[in-house]
Amino acid sequence: MPHCRNCDGFVTEQYVRVFAPTGMENVRVCPNCEDKLRNGAEIREAHAPRHTNNA
């Protein structure tokens, strides 16, 4: 089952196809990761924790 290598959270196979580098079966960071962000093809530390507020 695909998962995030940073937080070990579940991600869909479609998410992996879109955001993982070619040949990888898991992503390096997902939308649930508060401490890291995708920056183009690179991963970087977040300047501040992200908070999702769906209210």
Whole-number Å distance between alpha carbons of 39 and 1: 25
Per-residue pLDDT of the chain in tens (55 residues, 90 and over written 9): 899 998 999 999 999 999 888 898 998 888 888 777 677 677 777 766 655 555 4
Domain extent listing, the chain = 7-33
Among the listed residues 52, 48, 40, 38, the one whose alpha carbon sits nearest the alpha carbon of residue 5: 38
Instruction: Name the strand (E) or helix (H) holding 17.
Output: helix 13-19
Residue 11: per-residue pLDDT: 94
**pLDDT the model gives residue 1:** 87
pLDDT for 10: 94
pTM above 0.85, yes or no: no
